[in-house]
Structure 1
Amino acid sequence: MSVTTTSVTATRPTFLLVPGAWHRPTCWAALQEALTADGRHSRTVALRSAGPQSTPTAGMYDDAEEIAAHLRRIEGPVVVVAHSYGGLPATQAVTGDSNVTHLVYLAAYMPMEGESLGAVHGQDGPAPGDEDVERTCPAVFDDPRTALYADLPEDRATHALGQLVEQSLRSFQQRVTRAAWRTVPSTYVLCERDQALPPALQEKMAARATHVERLATGHSPFLAAPAELATLLGKIASSASRAATAS
């Protein structure tokens, strides 16, 4: 279990950063530095379905439990920021947590009840309980460098690729049973040059969000444009705080 903590600003919400598939919490380092420079507090989650510590049976529900456990340890308001696959366990985990004031879907899956990652892409999955529990998969793209990091310089893309880990196949097959965005205000941050999660699919999911913002980046703005993303997240958090105070 990994938790990364930056400086605390008591009157501002904490950002809980949830990575996507194949990524470890260190992928958020540049963004956390930018958030710290803006006086923002952030923590990260190490998803159990990804990496050398994951077990063959770790899936989306395990990741949701990990997110919920982190939320229980944070005092005060929280803005959950989920990237890519991380949108599924975040959607599952956040329902009913009164400290979460806002959900941010960063080029992320924003599923309805009954959807898995595979189902979002129109793929039939196994029946509940029959998910593939013994397989992991590396990044499934023919060209991960272009899909995930097209707008990064070569040296930084090479470093990022070297940090990728395996992901349990089960995490892509399990279906959410709750959709937190139905009750928690949300913002979808659509990445317009994304080559991993097609912008057209992002547009479809973003229609479920309370607000939509756009970045002219590829799939990983936390690496390609961390300062710009930090500024946007600060704007979103400030708006969420004002809305919470008004209500």
Structure 2
Amino acid sequence: MTAGVAVAAMTVGCAGAQATEETTSADKPTVVLVHGAFADSSSWNGVVRSLEADGYPVIAVANPLRGLASDAGHVRSVVDGVRGPVVLAGHSYGGSVMSQAADGLPNVKALVYIASFILEAGESTGELAAKFPGGELGPALKTLPVPLPDGKEGSDLYIEQDQFRRVFAADVPEDVTALMAATQRPITAAALEEPATKAAWKAIPSWNLVTTEDLAIPAESMRFMGKRANSHTLEIKASHAVAVSQPDAVADFITQAADSTLG
């Protein structure tokens, strides 16, 4: 999702001048951000600004949204190319992707799930989205046919623009959500149906931000997944688009995880 007009495929930055006396920016892990469905990397813009102000190097990855395994492969290639420790943060379907991508990567020191999915191997994103009542995203979706990478015919999913603010970003100003709805990136139905084969949270410490006003992923589902993963959990009154509506709170939560990795 996009909080502004620009579409940022990748945002990279490092604000060393903001580092504290105790810890320089060179000592801090790189924060890699993974957006979810109906979104793009610019959905993290406010979070990036806040993290950079605290001296963290940041990369916001362009998540392809084509298939869980292929999306995870792309994210993994980005993370694998980062020198030094990494904190991975994923929003929504981005959490499904990063759990798969981070498995076995020694430089990933923490996983931060932001209004997100924390899948067990064998589970799909769609399955967990429907596990508990309260989600209203499904009826707001429209489908369009699209060719898949394997040559088969599939479906792209979009949120109906007149439903976007209500189900996805109710606490974001209307002028912003109008832009978000118009610039949303679709996800294939196949990506939501594809089961995970890895669960990196079993070996990597995790943090779980639960959004209690979320109509895309019920809060009860996020609580269930976070408890199962033994995550450090914080609940916040926000819509699914919390990275747009409350970027400083999201950045602070990511910073808690990042600070835990410092020696």
1:104 aligns with 2:82: no
Q: Would the alpha carbon gap of residues 205 and 142 (structure 1) be closer, same or farther in structure 2, given more than 3 Å must change?
A: farther
**Residue identity opposite 2:35 in structure 1:** P
- The Cα shift of 1:157 comes to 1.7
- The Cα shift of 1:118 comes to 2.0
1:164 aligns with 2:184: yes
In the alignment, the residues of structure 2 paired with residue 163 and residue 15 of structure 1 have an alpha-carbon distance, to the nearest angstrom, of 25
**Tell me, what secondary structure is at the counterpart of 1:217?**
coil
Contact 2:210-2:219 within 8 A present in 1 as well: yes
Deviations 1:67-95 (A, max 9, x none): 10001111111110010011111111111
What is the 5 A alignment of 1:14-93?
Answer: 14-49=30-65, 58-93=66-101
1:6 aligns with 2:10: no
- The Cα shift of 1:193 comes to 1.6
**Tell me, what secondary structure is at the counterpart of 2:117?**
coil
**% same residue:** 28
**Residue identity opposite 2:27 in structure 1:** T
What is the 5 A alignment of 1:185-224?
Answer: 185-207=205-227, 208-224=229-245
In the alignment, the residues of structure 2 paired with residue 157 and residue 171 of structure 1 have an alpha-carbon distance, to the nearest angstrom, of 24
RMSD of Structure 2 on Structure 1 (CA): 2.1
- The Cα shift of 1:66 comes to 0.7
Contact 2:111-2:204 within 8 A present in 1 as well: yes
Counterpart in the other structure of 1:151: 171
Q: Would the alpha carbon gap of residues 240 and 215 (structure 1) be closer, same or farther in structure 2, given more than 3 Å must change?
A: farther
- The Cα shift of 1:199 comes to 0.6
The answer for unaligned runs of 5 or more in structure 1 is 50-57, 123-129
**Residue identity opposite 1:91 in structure 2:** S
Counterpart in the other structure of 1:54: none
Deviations 1:68-125 (A, max 9, x none): 0001111111110010011111111111000000001111011111001122225xxx
Question: TM-score under structure 1 normalisation?
Answer: 0.85
- The Cα shift of 1:134 comes to 2.2
**Residue identity opposite 2:56 in structure 1:** R
**Residue identity opposite 1:200 in structure 2:** E
**Tell me, what secondary structure is at the counterpart of 2:118?**
coil
Number of residue pairs the alignment of both structures matches: 227
**Tell me, what secondary structure is at the counterpart of 2:216?**
coil
Q: 159-168 vs 61-70, which deviates more?
A: 159-168
1:139 aligns with 2:159: yes
Question: TM-score under structure 2 normalisation?
Answer: 0.81
In the alignment, the residues of structure 2 paired with residue 204 and residue 237 of structure 1 have an alpha-carbon distance, to the nearest angstrom, of 24
In the alignment, the residues of structure 2 paired with residue 206 and residue 133 of structure 1 have an alpha-carbon distance, to the nearest angstrom, of 35
Contact 2:211-2:236 within 8 A present in 1 as well: yes
Contact 1:85-1:108 within 8 A present in 2 as well: yes
In the alignment, the residues of structure 1 paired with residue 218 and residue 162 of structure 2 have an alpha-carbon distance, to the nearest angstrom, of 15
The answer for unaligned runs of 5 or more in structure 2 is 1-7, 16-24, 132-149
Q: Would the alpha carbon gap of residues 187 and 38 (structure 1) be closer, same or farther in structure 2, given more than 3 Å must change?
A: same
- The Cα shift of 1:142 comes to 8.0
In the alignment, the residues of structure 1 paired with residue 101 and residue 251 of structure 2 have an alpha-carbon distance, to the nearest angstrom, of 24
**Residue identity opposite 1:218 in structure 2:** S
1:182 aligns with 2:202: yes
In the alignment, the residues of structure 1 paired with residue 163 and residue 261 of structure 2 have an alpha-carbon distance, to the nearest angstrom, of 37
